[in-house]
Amino acid sequence: MKSPFNRRAASALADPGLQEALQVATSRFGDLRKQAFDSSAAPLALRARAREIRRRTFEDLNLHLDTLFSNLSRLGVHVHSAADASEADKIILGIARRRGVKTVVKSKSMASEEIHLNAALEAAGITPFETDLGEWILQLAGEVPSHLVAPALHKTREQVARLFAEKVDPHIGDDPRDLTAAARRQLRKEFLRADMGVSGVNFAIAETGTLCLVTNEGNARLVTTLPKVHVAIMGIEKVVPTLAEALTLLAVLPRSATGEKLTSYFTMLTGPRKKAEADGPEEMHLVVLDNGRSRHLGGPFHEAFYCIRCGSCQNACPVFQSVGGHAYDSVYGGPIGSILSPMLRGLETSGELSAASSLCGACQEACPVFVDIPRMLIEMREARVAQRATPMPERAAFRLAAWAMRTPFVWDLGVKLLPRLLGPLVKRIKARWLPNPAGAWLKGRDFPPAPPKSFRSIWKERQRDTKRPASHAADRPAETHGGKSVDRARRLLSISKGISHAPATPTPGPLPEVEVPDPAARFCEEFEAAGGRAHRPESMEAARGIVLELFRCFSDRPAVMSEGLPLAAANWLREDGAEILPLSQAGDDCRGEISKAGLGITGCDWAIAETGTVILTSGPRRPRLYSLLPEVHLVLVPEERIVPHLSAASPLIRDALTGSGESPSCVSLITGPSRSADIGLTLVTGVHGPCEIHAILVPEKLNLSPGLVAEETSPFSLEEE
């Protein structure tokens, strides 16, 4: 009798569309991952440091959680503890009822899938909208995610096109750009009117009380900015002690997940909207989910909590590559899911997943923090046997084998008889006709021919040879095939001592970094590699021309811009007859007007050369939405604010969050435009955020033309040293 997993796997193997999608996607993710890690100065040292961060975090988990909760409460975030999925749903529904919520927009969250939040909301009369493109596709199809990072990985472009024709627009074609544009139009309306936003958490930084989201599409920024209430859900394993350590984990997560140095958006949320800020949620909640996690702390499967949910083990696993995520019948599929699912759901429900592995070790090799999944799979199998969760025929077969091994006479007899019995079957290829489960096992394998001699007989011969006198050396028989096998095994054993899937030893001190001799030039190179367009004007007149050219692409639409810019962009646009919307005031996000803007112009606090990233902090007269709702985002980057590496930005951001002044509620690291490849692995920009992003680099001294001066309120004076 086939197990439930085997039945689902057989169905997956018989689906040619699924097989094509899996092979293309997993191989591409693997190639991109390798390229991304090759771009770092010391990939193994970086991964070893990331693992050490995870290990040390769990040594003092209670301390870090207490620090996190204390800082969140100080910032005005309501912290809730949920023992299980039912309690988590109850907490979120209570918040929604108190605020009169009718619609909820959600960014991708495996924790919300784990607690089946959508079903709970719908049962309470509240309409949830998944806003991640892949998740929305699955919501339309009535399906669940099949991959940790690419939820609709199992769907081909043709399948998505047919779904959109049925559910969204009967006249739509199969071009991924048209399909994505349709999703953008549909979901933009839901963003603007939603009462509550629900998100997951990638990292929760204890020292600052910051919740971090790693995304590409821009939907998570909208989910955590537009609704008046934001609810985040996380497991206890998401805590990270310090901001510097979170940025180290950020250096490995996108590389492992999508093959990028950084995703388009890394959003750091530190409390609800401040009084002087124009946008952001008025109320913020964090639901901390246990759901069986705490009972495994310090146990044999404790290391599974080191996982940072990148999905690279799924891409590397030959079983997942063949059957996909739905065969696991769990939120968490693939190798890490074969550990997490039994931990959270019990051996009775998901224990068989531990057998869905060849134990090849590819998962641990691909894991950015070297989680020892093969060891835990073996221990999970052992736990399953101890609880008698294996089928009775399997237990009976192993009991029979154990009895034979404990009985020398029976074992010797079997060794002598089995080659004679199986030899004719193997020669006539009749082994494939054996009944299940032997027949099923042999469908994809060749039955090995029985050796002419057993290991024990070969060993006895070798022992006799070593006892012969040296004078009889000439009488020694030629090296047997079995003897060669023993010698080869010895050589392989000696070689294997230098080969291991175990993590590299972390090195103390700063990690090696790539050389960045010219930060401005490197920033431009990386900014364009990420999909942006960098400009380095030689004069103020040239800068003016760039700004006006971008605006004229949307001349029938207004523009928005932050205050304190290093260029007089507002004056230039007004002289050209442009409509510039009034600056959003504190507590008034002006979402309707901003959503009509064609161009949004902002400054930036810092930029990172190595990744082509701009860093924006929220604050008075610096609305978050100006870099998010317009079709095009233009960011003005003072060259003196460019730092060489991500690690160099860490103390700057930390000072902004912990300094004496009022800290920003949001810090956004932006690397390229909003983008997604959820439809047929075709990269499309402008999913939910800006379709384009441009940067004008402003040197400390720019050749000023008459009448062209920087704005008086600019904190970045052109003469500033």
Is residue 26 a contact partner of residue 321, using CB atoms and an 8 Å limit?
A: yes
Residue 523 and residue 615: Cα distance in Å, rounded?
Answer: 13
Domain total in the chain: 4
d(CA 185, CA 367): 37
Asked if residues 668 and 12 have their Cβ atoms less than 8 Å apart, the reply is: no
Q: In whole angstroms, what is the distance from residue 273 CA to residue 666 CA?
A: 8
Tell whether 210 and 75 lie within a shared domain. Answer: yes
Q: For residue 477, give both structure tokens.
A: 């028989």
> Considering the domain boundaries, does residue 575 fall inside one?
yes
Q: What whole-number distance in Å separates Cα of residue 181 and Cα of residue 688?
A: 9
Clarify whether residues 220 and 292 are in a common domain: yes
- Beta-carbon count within 10 A of 179 CB: 27
Longest Cα pair distance anywhere in the chain, in angstroms?
Answer: 108
List of residues 6+ apart from 300 with CB closer than 8 A = 376, 379, 383
Question: Residue 422 belongs to what domain range?
Answer: 398-444
Rounded distance, CA 160 to CA 16, Å? 16
Beta bridge partners of 198: 106, 231
- CATH code for position 634: 3.40.50.10420
Task: Give the torsion sign (CA, 493, 497, 499, 502).
Answer: positive
Q: In the prediction, which pLDDT does 589 show?
A: 82
Quick one: 7 and 153 in the same domain?
A: no
Q: Which tokens go with 272?
A: 């609800």
Count of C-beta atoms within a 10 Å radius of residue 238: 24
304 touches 376 (CB < 8 A): yes
* 555, part of any domain: yes
CATH number reported for the structural domain that contains residue 320 in this entry: 1.10.1060
CA distance 209 to 201: 12
On whether both 336 and 360 belong to a single domain, the answer is yes
Q: Do 425 and 366 reside in the same domain of the chain?
A: no
Contacts of 654 (CB under 8 A, 6+ apart): 207, 208, 243, 244
pLDDT at 442 (0 to 100):
62
**Is residue 462, in this structure, part of any structural domain at all?**
no
User: What is the predicted pLDDT for the residue at 437?
Assistant: 60
pLDDT at 705: 40
Contact 531, 685 (CB under 8 A): yes
pTM for the complete prediction? 0.86
Tell me if residue 556 falls in helix, strand or coil. coil
In a domain, 507, yes or no: no
Phi and psi dihedrals of 560, rounded to 5? Answer: -130, 150
Same domain, residue pair 303 and 285: no
6 and 104 inside one domain: no
Q: Do 684 and 675 meet the contact criterion of CB atoms below 8 Å apart?
A: yes
Query: What is the crossing angle of helices 176-193 and 133-141, to 10°?
Result: 90
DSSP letter (8 states) at residue 47:
H
Question: Residue 422: its pLDDT value, please?
Answer: 65
Which residue, 227, 222, 232, is CA-closest to 198? 232
Task: Give a yes or no: residue 456 inside a domain.
Answer: no
CA distance linking residue 643 with residue 637, whole number of Å: 12
pLDDT tens readout for residues 53-79:
999 999 999 999 999 999 999 999 999
- Write out residues in the chain with pLDDT < 50, as ranges: 430-431, 472-482, 493-501, 703-721
670, two tokens: 């932006």
Domain boundary among 344, 362, 389: 389
- 138 & 118 share domain: yes
Residues 243 and 272 in one domain: yes
In a domain, residue 268? The reply is: yes
Last residue of a domain, one of 270, 296, 322: 296
What is residue 324's predicted lDDT score, i.e. its pLDDT? Answer: 96
Q: Are residues 562 and 414 in the same domain?
A: no
Structure tokens at 144: 């669940």
pLDDT digit string, tens, across residues 397-408: 888 888 888 998
Same domain, 135 and 262: yes
303 and 352 both lie in a single domain = yes
Residue 295 amino acid letter = R
Nearest to 238 by CA among 268, 203, 192: 203
Q: Name the DSSP letter for residue 712.
A: T
Name the β-bridge partners of 684. 676
**Torsion over CA of 479, 482, 488 and 490, rounded to 10 degrees?**
-100
- Show which of 389, 414, 431 is a domain's final residue: 389
Q: What is the pLDDT of residue 474?
A: 45
Inside any domain, residue 476: no
Closest CA to 670 of 612, 593, 591: 612
Q: What region, left, alpha or beta, does residue 717 occupy, with left being phi > 0 and alpha being psi -120 to 50 degrees?
A: beta
Q: What is the pLDDT of residue 412?
A: 81
Q: For residue 292, is it within any domain?
A: yes
